[in-house]
Copies of this chain bind each other. A is one copy, B any other.
């Protein structure tokens, strides 16, 4: 936890009173005392400093911070992720890792090789996935929560929704091992990028065809077969490198 995040409603006249895992973290991990200054941030808002006004170091822990906010200075995130729903334990890790790396929008979609039972997992609901996004922000020192959109049917998404989304992007690419194209050849300019990662076992032929019909470009990163979580992070790194360019 490299920043203490709070919800807008928690701040009252510049004062923030914590009684949960954040108070525990301040007492047990940061070992803070009165007068110490901590990095704080409002979820989807500003970042700033919180001065420890009072601290109860025995359980139940209570920490009061006096908070001053200034605009979040992190550069805006220009990468979005289109992800075939992975198994729940992997989804949790991916959400937190990709939020740390920086992602604006995550589209969770169905695909032929997505196991039906994955859709019943608690992490697919906002109450289930939000903590993993917040963990990612706490690691990254950012406040901007990615938005998640969920599409439980592939065909309506790719036919009716996807084409209307693509105008926001300067590049939209889908990882597909059979492609002979490289990522750098698919990326045009340095604008916003949408990248798609399939399920374990990959997209089926029909899905690749539908993505191509919608205007997306397929690329491969070589013959090594990656797990979904490895692919999401490694390809995010590749895209960042291409966008930064120097």
A window 205-246: CB within 8 A of B: 221-227, 229-230, 233-238, 240-242, 244-246
A237 to B183, CA, bound (A): 12
A interface majority secondary structure? helix
| A105 CB-CB contact with B under 8 Å | no
Interface size on A, residues (CB 8 A): 36
Cβ-defined partner of A240 (8 Å) among B236, B238, B240: B238
A182 CB–B CB distance under 8 Å: yes
Contact of A241 among B100, B140, B183, B229 (CB under 8 A): B183
Chain B residue nearest in CB terms to A223: B74
* Inter-chain contacts of A244 with B (CB < 8 A): 182, 184
* Given contacts A101-B234, A234-B233, A237-B237, A225 and B2 within 8 Å (CB-CB): yes
Docked-complex contact A101 and B226, CB < 8 angstroms: yes
- Contacting residues, chain B, for A224 (C-beta < 8 A): 74, 100-102, 140-142
Pick from B2, B233, B245, B246: contact of A230, CB below 8 A.
B233
Q: List the B side residues contacting A238 at CB < 8 Å.
A: 237-238, 240-241
- A237 contact from B182, B229, B234, Cβ within 8 A: B234
The 9 residue pairs across chains A and B that have the minimum distance between CB atoms = A237-B237, A234-B237, A238-B241, A140-B224, A233-B233, A237-B238, A241-B241, A97-B230, A2-B225
> 9 pairs across A/B with beta carbons < 8 Å?
A75-B222, A100-B226, A140-B226, A182-B244, A185-B246, A233-B233, A235-B237, A237-B237, A241-B242
Interface residues of chain A, those whose CB is within 8 Å of chain B, are 2, 74-75, 97, 100-102, 139-142, 182-185, 221-227, 229-230, 233-238, 240-242, 244-246
